[in-house]
Amino acid sequence: MDSMPRQALLSLDQALSDLLAHAKALTGVETIPVMEADGRVLAQDLVSQLQVPPHDNSAMDGYAVRCADLSQVGDLLPVTQRIAAGAWGEALQPGSAARIFTGAPVPAGADAVLMQEDCTAIEASGAVSTAATDGTPTPGPLIRVAVLPTLGQHIRRSGEDVTRGAVVLPRGKRLGPAELGLAASIGSDKLDVVKRPRVALFSTGDELIMPGSVAPADMPPGAIYNSNRFFLHALLRRMGCAVTDLGIVPDQRAATIAALQSAALSHDVILTSGGVSVGEEDHVKPAVQALGTLDLWQIAIKPGKPFAYGRVADCHFLGLPGNPVSSFMTFLLLVRPFLLRLQGIIDTAMQSYALRADFAWPKADKRREFLRVRRNAVGGLELFANQSSGVLTSAVWGDGVVDNPPGCAISPGDTVRFIAFSEWLA
């Protein structure tokens, strides 16, 4: 019999606030190569020891010039040097130009770069230019200027990207491809990151069968393939977790208690799927209560009402519903921010967008709903026809959800709040 007294369902906002209050950042740190740091979280500020770029350089293929040497379109300048990226030119003498390439250091004395498209190169075989300041004829190639330059044009200044001493990536920053490139640009080959949360994952349910163990034609009556295990494992990996897959636990109280006890010994989090509702075969919730505490249970959302949080010894416990869409959505809404907070990330809020509903949802639910939708070619949202919590196709067909408040019916043309799956799955 259920030992927890019935109580009003928690709102999602209250449940998330309570949940995050339990998520104290993990303290372990490890140093790993930048190449392996995608998705990890910085454990300390990354400070630049140099300027990026380290020197003024050309943003274009063209010619480095002095603006004071050019007064009108058609002026000629002799080209006295050639500077490629990685080379270092000499100071630019008055009345001359330097052939320069993208990324090459701008020579001292130059104050602009002309694009090669704004000049005409003249191969001056035997020709003579009198552009030198001392009046001495200077044989060699020339350029004829078609557009007058402005001071500083097409010059990337030293430090315009990163200045020496600047914090380029703050502690608690989740690293993606751009962040890794920025770290490499200041010479970092290793980074101090928060240790991965160690997560033990298991499913409950005697009806569950692993794909590959039984052919579809041989499935026994009442059996289903375990899909939750696969998408939860993938989501945990995307969140930077070290995952231990404990498989399928039988619908038995003793087996559930044993699995929880074993998992709590060497993990930070236990994540389960199924068994947290109120049925006679739902053993996870009472097993957690027997071993520790259950602090959250049942959220006023649809899908995903039977969500649970508690502790087994020093290990966090997160229990997800068994229906696949419910399990998928409660992970995104509750487990994802919890795991981010464990890794020291403070801002876990999702960005939502106001979009037009191109569908009707006349029967509002008293719970907050997350309707699977996708954007169409005319800027609106289409609704997947079957919003059942067991229809995982809706999460594949759709590219996000409408966050629909309790008791809110939707008519075509209404403005709704849209959250893209890409925001959650990045």
Say what the pLDDT of residue 286 is: 86
Of 3.40.50.10190, 3.40.980.10, 3.30.1050.10, 3.40.50.1100, the CATH number of 12-28+195-342 is: 3.40.980.10
What is d(CA 207, CA 300) in angstroms, rounded to the nearest whole number? 27
pTM here is: 0.82
In contact, 424 and 418? CB cutoff 8 Å: no
**So what CATH class is 57-156?**
mainly beta
In contact, 133 and 94? CB cutoff 8 Å: yes
- Cis before residue 149, ω within 30 degrees of 0? no
Say what the pLDDT of residue 210 is: 86
Spatial neighbors of 56 by CB under 8 A, at least 6 apart, are 105, 106, 155, 156, 157, 158
What is d(CA 197, CA 24) in angstroms, rounded to the nearest whole number? 12
What is d(CA 198, CA 346) in angstroms, rounded to the nearest whole number? 20
What the block records as the tokens of 67 is: 């603006």
Cα 34 to Cα 176, 209, 285: the distances in Å are 11, 39, 41
What the block records as the tokens of 231 is: 């998408």
Cα 299 to Cα 25, 281, 324, 330, 385: the distances in Å are 24, 21, 17, 10, 24
**Domains of the chain by residue range:** 12-28+195-342, 29-53+160-194, 57-156, 353-425
Between β-strands 380-383 and 368-375, what pairing exists: parallel, antiparallel or unpaired?
Answer: antiparallel
From 341, 377, 357, 231, select the one nearest 369 (Cα to Cα): 357
In contact, 201 and 244? CB cutoff 8 Å: yes
Question: In 142-279, which residue ranges form alpha helices assigned H by DSSP?
Answer: 177-185, 228-238, 253-264
Distance from the first to the final alpha carbon of the chain: 42
> Each residue of 271-283: b (16+ CB within 10 Å) or e?
bbbbbbbeeeebb
Spatial neighbors of 99 by CB under 8 A, at least 6 apart, are 63, 79, 81, 82, 83
Give the angle 254-258-263 at the CA atoms, nearest 5°: 150
Please give the average pLDDT of every successive group of 10 residues along the chain, which has 426 residues. 62 95 93 95 96 95 97 96 95 96 97 96 57 44 96 96 96 95 96 97 86 90 90 94 92 91 96 71 81 89 93 95 94 96 92 97 95 97 96 97 97 98 89
Cα 331 to Cα 199, 235, 320: the distances in Å are 13, 8, 7
- Cis before residue 324, ω within 30 degrees of 0? no
Taking every pair of Cα atoms in the chain, the longest distance, rounded to a whole number of angstroms, is 105
Give the angle 236-241-245 at the CA atoms, nearest 5°: 65
Complete DSSP assignment for 109-148: T--EEEEGGGEEEE--TT-EE--STT---EES-EEEESS-
Cα 147 to Cα 69, 72, 113, 120, 332: the distances in Å are 13, 8, 11, 10, 56
In contact, 52 and 367? CB cutoff 8 Å: no
Across-strand partners of 32?
191
Of 3.20.20.70, 3.40.109.10, 1.10.260.40, 2.40.340.10, the CATH number of 353-425 is: 2.40.340.10
Say what the pLDDT of residue 261 is: 95
Topology of the domain comprising 29-53+160-194:
Molybdopterin biosynthesis moea protein, domain 2 (3.90.105)
